Chains A and B, each alone.
Chain A
């Protein structure tokens, strides 16, 4: 626990510096909204730490990430650090500039056209870059492979009958919980439950590991991947596809024909059912996105208090409140992974279970 607190203090020291640096970098009044939006958004480089923030000899340690662009039927791959060296990068006949974490196509002089709201109207290339979120996802990917690969190796080497040891002790209760309390509870046929197990286990741990990486306040964490709408959208679409591809005839009959319901009510029920097909994954997408993003925003806001008030005296308040939020977010990381998996399982169960 003492170590934990030390880490937190360290984090706030570092985080504070990062914010302070931003404050001076832009040479304007501290803008909490801008800082928060920047932190929960995506980035083409992975900021690690800044030294001598605000001073003449300030320098930041960042990890450059590969930029992968598809423009005019041509693939362009380079490291994001190239944007630091040359502001305007040639993509074939066109040029690209990086503005607020987004890449735009410009002319040779790098002119950006703004509309009346200040938004950039320039076209963008198809951006498949390994951004901070993608890199963080790959990290999660590697951790999961390592964790479960090791655990599975333990089972293979020591046999299923031996007492679980080491990493197996970490993995087994979680796997058993998902199998017995989520999947088998909702999907009644044991054969079907076993069929969906790999998908649901992967889903749960993929969301969980990304939630947890997002909670680590320093490199290589602090990304907001599972609070990014693209991430939750993708998982929701995969859930949608899984639910509907494996749905039984009976499910479709109930959705489109609503047997046993009088015709006047049917006219209302059937459209509602059809809309329901889409609202279910939509709710999944929004729930995860909103919960994780809200957690990040609250913690960043609490950090901002110090800078908004402009006094270090506010830091005890910030630290105590942030600590409480971190505890809550830690719970939410598990809870949201659980809820996403549970609801997906529930919908799959509704779609594949036999009629009672």
Chain B
């Protein structure tokens, strides 16, 4: 019997062994092993996807955080600018008001001074006139003790009084 002649007995046993082995291994080994490998792969896949998602989430949160910080800075700047504007406005207004007030006070003072000056002049004039009268009366009394004298005095005084 040559080595190229198939032997029915061995064909039979090979078929039987292979089919039984296939059936047993499929149930006992291949299904659990392949399922375990699949489970592990899916787990890894999901984990990777979750990790990627988490990473994206972190990036998003970082972005948001940056935005918030930026927003806060902008608000702060706005507030500061506003405050500065307000301050400048207040100072300006105050200055203007103060200036106005100063001008008013100066004016008032001027007016007062003018008035008081006028009053003073008026008072002086009155006093002068009173004094003049008194002096005149005194002089009159003195000078008029003699006629000649009286006359010269009057004359002299009258000359002096021409200043007004």
Residues on A facing B (Cβ under 8 Å): 37, 40-42, 68, 102, 126-131, 133-134, 137-138, 141, 144-145, 148-149, 151-152, 155-156, 159-161, 171-172, 175-176, 179, 194, 197-199, 201-202, 206, 228-231, 233-235, 238, 293
Contacts and interface: CB of A to CB of B under 8 A. Distances in A.
Contact of B17 (A137, A161, A194, A293): A137
A228 B22 contact: no
Closest 4 CB pairs of A and B: A160-B36, A148-B29, A230-B10, A155-B36
Contacts of B148: none
B5 to A, nearest CB: 7
Interface string B14-45: 11011011101110111111111111100100
Nearest to A134: B13
A128 B39 contact: no
A126 B29 contact: no
B7 interface: yes
12 contacts: A126-B9, A131-B9, A137-B13, A149-B28, A152-B30, A159-B36, A160-B38, A230-B6, A230-B11, A234-B10, A234-B15, A234-B18
B3 interface: yes
Contacts of A172: 33, 37
A262 B4 CA distance: 41
Contact of A128 (B6, B12, B17, B43): B12
A171 B30 CA distance: 11
Q: How large is the interface on B (under 10, 10 to 19, 20 to 34, 35 or more residues)?
A: 35 or more
Contacts of B158: none
Contacts of B7: 42, 127, 228, 230
A36 to B, nearest CB: 10
Contacts of B26: 198, 202
B40 A229 contact: no
Contacts of A141: 17, 20-21
Contacts of B38: 160
Contact of A171 (B1, B3, B33): B33
A203 B28 CA distance: 16
A144 B25 contact: yes
B34 A175 contact: yes
Given A159-B36, A234-B14, A129 B9 contact: yes
Question: Main SS of the interface on chain B?
Answer: helix
Contacts of A130: 13
A235 B14 CA distance: 8
B9 A128 contact: yes
A148 B36 CA distance: 13
A161 B39 contact: yes
A228 B14 CA distance: 11
Nearest to A293: B3
Contact of A231 (B5, B14, B24, B37): B14
Contacts of B40: 160-161
Contacts of A131: 9-10
A321 B25 CA distance: 38
Contact of B34 (A37, A149, A194, A230): A194
A175 B37 contact: yes
A102 B6 CA distance: 13
B152 to A, nearest CB: 146
B105 to A, nearest CB: 92
Among A41, A171, A229, the most chain B Cβ lie within 10 Å of the Cβ of A229
A198 B31 CA distance: 8
B6 A233 contact: yes
B11 A234 contact: yes
B37 A161 contact: no
A199 B22 contact: yes
Nearest to B26: A198
Given A134-B10, A152-B28, A161-B43, A179 B37 contact: yes
B18 A206 contact: yes
Nearest to B19: A238
